[in-house]
Chain A
Amino acid sequence: LTATPLVAWQCGRLIHRFFFAGLIDIDSVILPRKIVSNLMPYEPSSKSKTPNRATPVILAVSIFVALAVFAIHILWNNQISISILYVVALLICATLENRTTLLALGAFCGALLVVGFVWGDGPPYSLDSIARSAICLLTIVVTTVMLLGMENAKRALQSQARLLDQAHDSIFVRRLDGRVVFWNRGAEALFEWPRAMAVGRTTDELIQARYPSSKQSAMDELLKNDRWEGDVVYKTRSGKLLTVASRWSLQRDERGRPRAIIETDNDVTATRRAQNELVEAQSNLQHVTRISTLGELTTSIAHEIKQPLSAIVTHGEACLRWIDRGEGAKDEMRDAISWMIRDGRRAAEVIDNLRSLSKKHSTHFQTIDAKALVDGSLVLLAHEIAKHNVILSLDVPDNLPPVNGDLVALQQVLINLFVNAIQAMADVPEMAHRLSVRVRAKDVRELLIEVSDTGCGLGEIRHELFDAFFTTKRNGMGMGLSICRSIIEQHGGRIWASSNDWGGATFHFLIPTLGAAR
């Protein structure tokens, strides 16, 4: 007898587990169909507008059960503890998910019990009968309260699930094998698959994905960190390709075993396209300014190629003369030929350098040594430097930390700064022309490169220097320094200019080292 409330409690727990365990684990297999449809309404308003057809039937059944219990109670004169079965009526009614009905039925069952007790049991009322009825009443109250509590919890869950469903982002839940168990309206809109068709099928069937690296590496990271983020390209039902910013998080069961993946997708197709177009436009602009800089250097470039070529020609002619002389001039010939080989390579190097600068290229980051960067940038300028009587002073230590960068773009920056400096110095012929390049590791994270000249200086223009279309040259486009700035910023660095105390200007830029990038 005293175990009755305990039985009711256990019953409640069982029901609770039966109803909610599945939902919490988001596992449709053990989630009853009705709950699923209520939690994830295809039309959110359908529930309130058209009441469930089963409602009157269930209500009738529960009332019938309650009345049957009452009848048996009266007929058997409460010889057996039949009243405990009022709980069954309440449990049936609970499936209606209606608080008022449940509360009303609870009150009704309580009333029937009291009426049955008053009418059927007495008087006189035995102590046993009083106790039995009191315990039954207590059981009814406890069950009703518990069911109401469960109803509240279920509503909270439902409203959360509805929120998930109504979110603009596409959210779906799939099991580890890829089978979809939840598919919100955002996902319906994005991937064009209705929920009814999506649930139960694998994502590979629905939306073939293209991952940044591979699906396996994404899964590995997910299993390691419980989350993964990245851009994924999906194919919608109509075959459209979408780039989405995808966020996955891993659901684990109480034992920590992975069970399901919640995936949130944001369509970034337009954003990515715009970003790509911007990058493309920037690289085109870089290319154009690079070509125009090279245009200014044609004399210099011609000189750099002609010099080794004329050396080759003269070595060749001398060699022929040695051959004609015939007498043991083997060493002379060997020397001449070695020089020719070296010069041929030199000319090829100049042409390679020229070609890599003039070629349109997409940004390609690599490990760069600052010394090689500076030397490479000077290859095409040697003659320009000599022509303007510029004394070049290089202060580039050997053991500088390497930089992660785009070699061509960084060379473009340096060439631009060098050409500007040389031109600025050509404007003041009376002064000694000195072009200084100084490279320092500011700390392990940043490399500082400084290009100073003894030219006409910056004066008041220092602040507008890096603006697009700002120029002090008659035929200038005003793009050079603006491009330099965008290149440096692309590398995560910054560039600025200052006037020297001794006249002329210094351009400084900082770029992160490879170590900092890591």
Chain B
Amino acid sequence: MSTWENDSAVVIVDDDPSIRAALSSLFRSVGLNTKLFESVPDYLAGLGSLPDCSTCLVLDIRLSGISGLELQKQLALSGSKVPIIFMTAHGDIPMSVRAMKDGAVDFLAKPFRDQEMLDAVTTALDMDRTRRSNYAHAAAARLRYDTLTDREKQVMALVAAGFFNKQIASQLGVSEITIKIHRARLMKKLRATCLADLVKFAKSIEQSD
């Protein structure tokens, strides 16, 4: 088990108050924050009040009104990538297959083992943390990238593509010295120390475009 951080929360949606309380107690016993909702509409209404930290959803698959599967679909459509762990009180295979295909982290049959649930939640939170940090890196990179001039952006793309200074200079119709100056300036702006850093950076920018 990885060490629990306070910047993560487990969101539980189940219509059974006792199950909610039990899960909450279990997660709190290992130091996790929890947020409880009775139904899907409740959860959607409370989305705004959720802390901005890595979260995962522990969701009963059959809820009165809007079901857990329905919520999964809606979240996917709205672009949310929050990891979901499903629970059900009876092993419903077709449903679990559907849920897993649609990207659920795990599917647990009630009554589940606490370790299973905690493992699933650990995985889900790790996933969300990674996703969040990737997202944060990409955002920071984009900020730095935006400080480059158009010429510097051109030079960066060509350097990352593996061209030598001489080749770049002839392509852009400027002297090799000029390219060297551009290159030094953009390395400084992007805080890249070596060519490898630059290539990685260019790659992440390319992906986020």
Contact = CB atoms under 8 A, between A and B. Distances in A.
Interface of A: 299, 302-303, 306-315, 317-319, 321-322, 325, 329, 332, 335-336, 339, 342-343, 346, 383, 385-387, 389, 391
B23 interface: yes
Given A315-B18, A386-B15, A386-B64, A310 B89 contact: yes
A336 B25 CA distance: 8
Interface size class of B (residues with CB under 8 A): 20 to 34
Contacts of A308: 18
Given A306-B110, A386-B63, A391-B65, A318 B29 contact: yes
Given A308-B18, A342-B18, A386-B63, A318 B25 contact: yes
B114 interface: yes
Contact of A310 (B15, B19, B28, B29): B19
Give me the 6 closest cross-chain CB pairs, A-B, nearest first: A310-B111, A310-B110, A314-B22, A317-B114, A321-B29, A318-B26
Contacts of A389: 64-65, 67
A426 to B, nearest CB: 14
A299 B112 CA distance: 18
A310 B90 CA distance: 11
B44 interface: no
15 contacts: A302-B90, A303-B89, A308-B18, A309-B111, A310-B111, A311-B18, A314-B23, A314-B26, A314-B114, A315-B25, A318-B22, A319-B25, A335-B25, A389-B64, A389-B67
A343 B67 CA distance: 24
A325 B110 contact: no
A315 B24 CA distance: 9
Contacts of A343: 18
Contact of B22 (A302, A303, A311, A346): A311
A213 B14 CA distance: 56
Nearest to A299: B90
A394 to B, nearest CB: 14
A303 B90 CA distance: 7
Nearest to A308: B18
Given A306-B111, A332-B25, A314 B64 contact: no
B30 interface: yes
Interface of B: 15-16, 18-19, 21-23, 25-26, 28-30, 62-65, 67, 89-90, 110-114, 117
Most buried by B among A310, A322, A342, A383: A310
Contact of B110 (A307, A322, A346, A387): A307
A508 B62 CA distance: 31
Contacts of B64: 385-386, 389, 391
Contacts of A386: 15, 62-64
A314 B30 contact: no
A344 to B, nearest CB: 11
Given A307-B89, A314-B22, A314-B23, A332 B110 contact: no
A319 B15 CA distance: 22
A391 B28 CA distance: 33
Contacts of A385: 64
A78 B22 CA distance: 128
Contacts of B67: 389
B79 to A, nearest CB: 26
Contacts of B22: 311, 314-315, 318, 336, 339
B90 A307 contact: no
Contacts of A314: 19, 22-23, 25-26, 111-112, 114, 117
Contacts of B18: 308, 311, 315, 339, 342-343, 346
